[in-house]
Structure 1
Amino acid sequence: MLGQSYTDGQLFNAYGMQGAFLATDMRMLPGSMRSYAPLVQGVADSNAKVTIRQGGIVIYERAVPPGPFEINNLTVVGYGNDLNVMVSEADGSTKEFTVPYSPLVQLLRPGQFKYATNIGQAWSPSVNKYTPRVGQFTAQLGVNNYLTAYGGGLLSEDYNAVALGGAISTYLGGISVDYTRSHVALNSTGQVDGDSLRFIYSTLIEPTNTNITLSSYRYSSRGFWSFNEAVAAENYAARGDLSDASYRQINTYRDKQKGRFDISLRQYLAPGLGNVFVSGSMRNFWNRRGSQTQYQISYGNSFNKLDYELAANRVKDHYGQAYNEYRLSFSLPIFGADRGNRTYLSSSAWRHSDNGSQGQVQLSGITGSDQQLTYGVSTNQGLDSQNTQESYGLNGSYQGPGALVSGGISRGQGYQSAALGIAGSVVAHEGGINFGQTLGDTVGLVEAPHADGARITSVFGAKVDSNGFGVVPYLSAYSKNRIELDPEGLSNDVQLNETSIETVPVVGSIVRVQFQTTNEKMVLINSAFTDGTPLPFGAEVLDYTTRNSVGFVGQGGSIFARGVAAQGRLLVRLSERECVIDYSFDLQAFDARLPSLPGAMISTSAPCKL
């Protein structure tokens, strides 16, 4: 990729860069190989069946011949559950063993290799006084079931860093440790070297159903600078006089992080008792006393259709100033659901130690044939003497085929506001210009001549425009994508020869998806034998001259024919004989009535002569 973007931040801290980005895209692999799963190896004593379970769920099963076997295409279904492997032999005996599984971002399957390289110039969306050239390379290698090794290097004009690490999958969880060494020589930092050590742990404790999704700790020495910190410091220093010693003393190691600890944990209780979520973060700095901390704990559950949550939050900055917040919220669907239309009544009340208590009630919903309309009405009210404010608001949005239009108005004590927004895309191509919804990284362009108004069923609100093209705003790269058109509402003269097409796009592409259509006048001929006997249902109808099929006999002798002239002769092919229909239409009279009869069809009556 060429352009402005950010590095992935998996090993070195993410930073902005304009230049060239080249990396392994795991989406190119089969779906079963994209995420980490261990390699399962074993030995069967006879013609046996191998069954693999995760969390009690069978995720893989197959027959194997006698001898060693290897399974490398597992698709895991849980987070952190070890794999239980059972080999059932032909004589009825079984043997079991366990393969540890604890996924981390750094873990790869055995033998997989992943890399990313970026070359360009440092870039920031705000200040760009210091924009050094920079190159970065990182790589990961799945060594075996238990170990993934990774490392990389970063080289710039006044900065360089190298990092090495490894991730291990164990019975106690997934663990990764990496070490980074940096060297920087800038006016704002001086010439310093530093070290940083990071530890990450994740696991699912099955007996208690405790999910630790991320627990990490990073320690950085006083002289360690990440590249984005160094660039930011130099940009900041460029605003001042570097000859002023006091200025340099104040701004050297500005907000210089020393240590950081993060944890996120979810505890699932017994069935029907809900779950508890706990998260916490703590940071301290070399140039500041104290630490910044934030803790949150919440409990969520549901009763029938009522969802509710209780939460508490505490935040403290490095000056020792802190506040507490407590919140109770619930949501209840009302009025029932009709073809996807939903309405919710939600409410919440919270207490802030500095700002008092407040409550909110909101009625919101989604409606429309394609669920394209959303709406909401809300009010906020102060609940004590610390908070006497009150406000009211109204908001809504419409997701059309060409854009999302949203707006809202609100009014409170001493203020009122209004907002209007529009978000979408413009796709220019050889067939014209089409407006579409907000685009993803891979896009589809549907071409269906004369099928304007046909609904693209995979995307809410998307349709084929009057130029015969429509925009599919997002597709899954390197995977099969089924794109379907709904012919309902099309002109009677237009027929979709196919309503579904599969495509496998490359990431970043705009894929043209061509639907074949037939645009021929559709006519209705009411016919019967000369003695009044109805024509047999399903009999084929052909053009008398060309012998091309133009339709079939329907119920009551009605013939829907396509692509016929204003007058002519048709042949109805019966089981042992044929009959002929001579017909004619008054096209001028029909065209005169068409504006007042949208969707009307030309019709006439004529007998079928043997």
Structure 2
Amino acid sequence: MNFNIKKMVWSAVVGTSCVTLNAVAKEYFNPQLLETTETSAPPIDLALYAEQSIPPGDFNLDIYINDAYVDSGTVTFKRVEEAGNTNANTSEVRPCLSIQQLKSWNIRVESYPELVADKGDCAKLTAIPELNITVKMSTQRLELFVPQVAMLNPPRGFVPEDKWDDGINAGLLNYSLSGQTTHSRDDGATTNSQFAVLQPGLNLGAWRFRNYSTFNHDENTREWQSIYNYVERDIRRLKSRLTLGEANTAAGIFDSLQFTGLQLSSDSEMLPDSLQGFAPVVRGIAKSNAQVTIYQDGYSIYKTFVPAGAFEIRDLNPTGSSGDLHVVVKEADGREQRFIVPYASLAILQREGQLKYSVVGGETRSSDGRSQNMNFMQLSAAYGLPYGITVYGGFQQAENDYTQVLAGSGLNLGQMGAVSVDVAQSLSTLTWPGEKNTFSRRRGESLQVRYSKAFPETGTDLTLAGYRISSRNYYSLADFAERQNRQGKDYGDDKRDRHRLEATISQNTEYGSVSLSWVRESYWDCSRTDSLSVGLSSSWGKVSWFLSYALNHNVPGTDDSSKTTNDNVLSLTINIPFNAFWNNERYDSVTASYSVSQSKDGPTTHNVGLNGTALANNALSWQAQEGYTSDTRSTSGNLSVAYQHSRADLSASYGYDDYSQHYNYALRGGALVHAQGITLSRSLNETVALVQAPGVKNAPVNGQVNILTDSSGNAVVPYIRPYHETSVGIDTRSLADTDMEIDNVSRMLVPTRGSVVKARFHTAIGFRAMMSLWHQQRPVPFGAMVTRSDEEKDDKNAPEQHSNIVGDEGQVYIAGLKEKGTLRVKWGQATDQQCRVNYSFVHPQREKIMLYHAECL
């Protein structure tokens, strides 16, 4: 046999691992090209390779349409006979895709009635002209190239609801345990305290149960509190969430309020990113097939192609609080038309045609648990109108004693910024202590104005400016509930807000970035509170510094006393990384810091410190700090260390001052209970993923820091964004020197909020071997397929094992082999074109790849 010819054909047929399937006539390889002597291997059936290197069967593939990922799963390939011809040489092996699958991939199936096959579940893909299919086995991809006329155009980032995954039934637990031991220098007394936070949860289908409880223990107190209990689920048709139990109302039009009852509110995460937040509709007219590009602040933020005629762009991502949009329409002949769409935003603004709402019913809930609760209901909604206008309003009713109505409007003023104005009116029935059946009705009003504007030319960003003024008789629902609970006693009725002014401004200068935040509140008892902070930050090379000034006037304390504070504080902080002076990677993670602060009536304090990280992925962090107070000439110090493990976070610290020494410790983490057992993890967020790679331990999860599989091959990804596609994979580089292989290194997940979605990877654990297979004293034919027998499958729920293709001289590479087993070899349909190999590795040595010679019988 001519070795070079055989190698050329092997590369052309199999080695490329890339196959294009279309409606054109197929190529035919003459098997005799591979046979040059009478003693060669028996002829093989190359029908499977005449047009592609994939035989009929099931294969686990990622599906891409026009180079965009859309799905993954098991795809069945079947032989399709051409009409009127049953010759195997004129048949094709094509993927069997259902009409429902094509619909979920946004293909216009209604426009091609011939897609529905006469019999069977496979769509007749040739019904779509110019559709091409490519199979890339090297990357396990099925690529469909579909003409744009055959595609729907959903918003960018759109994920069909049938892909949303409610996840598995599971139990969840977040925990935080902390404690402190203090030794007093005055009397030598030692005190201990512990604090625990437990957040258990349970997922059953689409339902989520959550609890938040705390336990506080010290020398005099042993207290257990349940902060809230609720169940919730999503209502997909309404793009909303239903909550039942103890929770907080959604903040927005009204302030958030603790309640026990029912809430149905919009969930913007169910929308693609391109429809979240406010952005104007960009309208224009194209004179031909044109390219539309949108710029903001000199950056290209959107590009698309539109046909001739009027067009609308509704899926523009929100890019900030403001900044005009410059639109360029480039026609087919190269001519351009340009126009500007003004853009500014506030949180209340909604896109044109978009509704955001909340419906709440139940009773108010106080934090002390001793106050009298009131039945109430609350409705609120905001709707986007054309021309950048949003109308919004709300209604609150508490039994027969309180009513509030609010109405307002927001407007995108473009170059002038964005503004919203709303008016609220309350009607309250107040009772008085000591006088039975004595009450009075109070009617009050409140006006609120908010404004936002950026000035790109000067680098100024007026993020938020708000002004609110309320009449003496205006009560918010929270104010009214608090007053009624106390029956007027010690409530301080005149301590309610009269005016509130707030502003946040940032400015970039050649010397650094300046920020200002200011809040002023005045009350009906003529008192006033001011909080002002100003900061300037900059850097010299790798050295950074921050200068800040804070003014706090009449700020109330956290307890019930009327004590207030007045203080002015000026501080300077400088951070100096060691690599600013030593170009050595050993010092990259170490930073020195110095800070000094001076208060109006207090001492000047100085602090110097070192902090850094160590170990792989900076799992260990540490900090050492020493302080000095000028007026008392006293010192203080603190030393802390924290370790981030795949199963939990641990921290400990020691500190001292002139009064005491104290030791602190903390353990924080999570646990997931599922059908296969319990998996420990770091603290869980709302939505998580369970990674399962049976038998693969200590393998890193891609894109995660210090997340490794445990001894069972399980790991928890503690945060997954709900209703959006997220890729989860295993870093296989860590498996290079092991006897483990994974069939596919990534899974695409689309979880619903609060779900536990599973990413299961099918693993092959065992020997890796390069086998030389012989049949009837000749090498097994080139191109034969080798699979492990059914009893070789470790996972009975796994898809069929992938076949391995025999190469030159009967050689084939196979992974995941046990010490003993059986292989099936097939190079045709006839019985004399199939055989079985019973292999046994005698005294095997764990080498990267074992060499093995076997007879196929």
Q: 1:220-274: CA deviations, max 9, x gaps?
A: 1111111122222333x1xxxx5xxxx74x535152111111100001114xx31
In the alignment, what sits opposite 1:231?
A: 481
**1:55 lines up with 2:293 in the alignment:** no
**Higher mean C-alpha displacement, 470-479 vs 538-547:** 538-547
> What are the within-5 Å matches in structure 2 for residues 29-44 of structure 1?
29-44=271-286
In the alignment, what sits opposite 2:240?
A: none
* Kept after mapping to 2: 8 A contact 1:13/1:227: no
> What are the within-5 Å matches in structure 2 for residues 555-594 of structure 1?
562-566=816-820, 584-586=841-843
* Kept after mapping to 2: 8 A contact 1:349/1:359: yes
Q: Please report how far the alpha carbon of residue 608 of structure 1 lies from its aligned counterpart in structure 2 after TM superposition.
A: 8.2
In the alignment, what sits opposite 1:417?
A: 662
Determine the C-alpha separation between the residues in 2 that align with 1:274 and 1:209.
11
* Kept after mapping to 2: 8 A contact 1:341/1:367: no
The match for 2:443 among 187, 190, 193 is 193
* Kept after mapping to 1: 8 A contact 2:444/2:471: yes
Determine the C-alpha separation between the residues in 2 that align with 1:266 and 1:66.
43
In the alignment, what sits opposite 1:357?
A: 604
Determine the C-alpha separation between the residues in 2 that align with 1:35 and 1:293.
32
In the alignment, what sits opposite 1:109?
A: 351
Q: Please report how far the alpha carbon of residue 209 of structure 1 lies from its aligned counterpart in structure 2 after TM superposition.
A: 1.7
Q: 1:69-119: CA deviations, max 9, x gaps?
A: 211111243431011223345566544332221111111111111111122
Q: 1:501-557: CA deviations, max 9, x gaps?
A: 0110111211122211223x316689999xxxxx9xx99996999999789999xx9
> What are the within-5 Å matches in structure 2 for residues 183-332 of structure 1?
183-187=427-431, 190-235=440-485, 237=486, 248=489, 251-253=491-493, 255-270=495-510, 273-287=511-525, 289-317=526-554, 322-332=566-576
Determine the C-alpha separation between the residues in 2 that align with 1:463 and 1:405.
17
Q: 1:539-580: CA deviations, max 9, x gaps?
A: 9996999999789999xx998764244599999x9xxxx9x9
* Kept after mapping to 1: 8 A contact 2:821/2:838: no
Q: Please report how far the alpha carbon of residue 167 of structure 1 lies from its aligned counterpart in structure 2 after TM superposition.
A: 0.5
Task: Read off the aligned partner of 2:279 and give its amino acid letter.
Answer: A
Measured at CA, do residues 316 and 609 of structure 1 come closer, stay the same or move farther in structure 2, by a change above 3 Å? closer
* Kept after mapping to 2: 8 A contact 1:551/1:562: no
**1:156 lines up with 2:398 in the alignment:** yes
Structure 1 gaps, min length 5: 530-534, 591-599
| Aligned residue pairs, count | 569
* Kept after mapping to 2: 8 A contact 1:492/1:522: no
Q: Please report how far the alpha carbon of residue 431 of structure 1 lies from its aligned counterpart in structure 2 after TM superposition.
A: 1.4
Could you say what secondary structure the match of 2:493 adopts? coil
The match for 1:17 among 259, 265, 278 is 259
In the alignment, what sits opposite 1:376?
A: 623
**Higher mean C-alpha displacement, 47-56 vs 254-263:** 47-56
The match for 1:440 among 675, 679, 685 is 685
* Kept after mapping to 1: 8 A contact 2:789/2:822: no
**1:503 lines up with 2:758 in the alignment:** no
Determine the C-alpha separation between the residues in 1 that align with 2:308 and 2:505.
44
> What are the within-5 Å matches in structure 2 for residues 496-575 of structure 1?
496-519=742-765, 521-522=766-767, 562-566=816-820
Measured at CA, do residues 193 and 337 of structure 1 come closer, stay the same or move farther in structure 2, by a change above 3 Å? farther
Determine the C-alpha separation between the residues in 2 that align with 1:453 and 1:104.
46
In the alignment, what sits opposite 2:219?
A: none
In the alignment, what sits opposite 2:697?
A: 452
Could you say what secondary structure the match of 2:373 adopts? coil
* Kept after mapping to 1: 8 A contact 2:450/2:465: yes
In the alignment, what sits opposite 1:67?
A: 309
**1:176 lines up with 2:176 in the alignment:** no
User: % of aligned pairs identical?
Assistant: 27
In the alignment, what sits opposite 1:594?
A: none
Measured at CA, do residues 113 and 540 of structure 1 come closer, stay the same or move farther in structure 2, by a change above 3 Å? same
**Higher mean C-alpha displacement, 122-131 vs 261-270:** 122-131
Task: Read off the aligned partner of 1:223 and give its amino acid letter.
Answer: N
Task: Read off the aligned partner of 2:843 and give its amino acid letter.
Answer: D
* Kept after mapping to 2: 8 A contact 1:550/1:563: no
Could you say what secondary structure the match of 1:370 adopts? helix
Q: 1:274-306: CA deviations, max 9, x gaps?
A: 11111111111012x331112222211111111
* Kept after mapping to 2: 8 A contact 1:431/1:467: no
RMSD: 3.7
Determine the C-alpha separation between the residues in 1 that align with 2:341 and 2:521.
36
Determine the C-alpha separation between the residues in 2 that align with 1:121 and 1:346.
51
* Kept after mapping to 1: 8 A contact 2:537/2:545: yes
Could you say what secondary structure the match of 2:691 adopts? strand
Q: Please report how far the alpha carbon of residue 47 of structure 1 lies from its aligned counterpart in structure 2 after TM superposition.
A: 4.6
Measured at CA, do residues 340 and 350 of structure 1 come closer, stay the same or move farther in structure 2, by a change above 3 Å? closer
Could you say what secondary structure the match of 1:377 adopts? strand
Determine the C-alpha separation between the residues in 2 that align with 1:31 and 1:153.
30
Measured at CA, do residues 607 and 97 of structure 1 come closer, stay the same or move farther in structure 2, by a change above 3 Å? closer
Task: Read off the aligned partner of 1:431 and give its amino acid letter.
Answer: Q
Determine the C-alpha separation between the residues in 2 that align with 1:515 and 1:61.
37
Q: 1:427-473: CA deviations, max 9, x gaps?
A: 21221122222121111122222223222233322222233432111
Could you say what secondary structure the match of 1:279 adopts? strand
Task: Read off the aligned partner of 1:380 and give its amino acid letter.
Answer: G
Could you say what secondary structure the match of 2:604 adopts? strand
**Higher mean C-alpha displacement, 345-354 vs 43-52:** 43-52
Task: Read off the aligned partner of 2:268 and give its amino acid letter.
Answer: M
Q: 1:307-359: CA deviations, max 9, x gaps?
A: 11111121211899732211111222224685997222222111111111111
**Higher mean C-alpha displacement, 371-380 vs 444-453:** 444-453
Structure 2 gaps, min length 5: 1-242, 433-438, 556-562, 793-801, 828-834
Q: 1:458-494: CA deviations, max 9, x gaps?
A: 3322222233432111110110011111245558343
Determine the C-alpha separation between the residues in 1 that align with 2:278 and 2:767.
56
Determine the C-alpha separation between the residues in 1 that align with 2:341 and 2:691.
46
Determine the C-alpha separation between the residues in 1 that align with 2:300 and 2:785.
55
Which of the two has greater helix per residue? 2
Q: 1:15-44: CA deviations, max 9, x gaps?
A: 111222221111111221112110011233
Task: Read off the aligned partner of 2:512 and give its amino acid letter.
Answer: G
Could you say what secondary structure the match of 2:616 adopts? coil
Q: 1:369-412: CA deviations, max 9, x gaps?
A: 23322111111112x32x52311111121121222111211011
Higher relative contact order (CA 8 A, sep 6+): 2
Which of the two has greater strand per residue? 1
Task: Read off the aligned partner of 1:225 and give its amino acid letter.
Answer: Y
Determine the C-alpha separation between the residues in 2 that align with 1:47 and 1:582.
63
Determine the C-alpha separation between the residues in 1 that align with 2:394 and 2:314.
27
Determine the C-alpha separation between the residues in 1 that align with 2:482 and 2:681.
37
Determine the C-alpha separation between the residues in 1 that align with 2:502 and 2:855.
87
Q: Please report how far the alpha carbon of residue 181 of structure 1 lies from its aligned counterpart in structure 2 after TM superposition.
A: 1.2
Using structure 1 for the length normalisation, give the TM-score.
0.83
Determine the C-alpha separation between the residues in 2 that align with 1:607 and 1:420.
60
Q: Please report how far the alpha carbon of residue 49 of structure 1 lies from its aligned counterpart in structure 2 after TM superposition.
A: 3.8
In the alignment, what sits opposite 1:367?
A: 614
* Kept after mapping to 1: 8 A contact 2:410/2:420: yes
Task: Read off the aligned partner of 1:84 and give its amino acid letter.
Answer: H
Measured at CA, do residues 362 and 552 of structure 1 come closer, stay the same or move farther in structure 2, by a change above 3 Å? farther
In the alignment, what sits opposite 2:340?
A: 98
Task: Read off the aligned partner of 1:327 and give its amino acid letter.
Answer: S
**1:87 lines up with 2:87 in the alignment:** no
Determine the C-alpha separation between the residues in 1 that align with 2:671 and 2:474.
46
In the alignment, what sits opposite 1:124?
A: 366
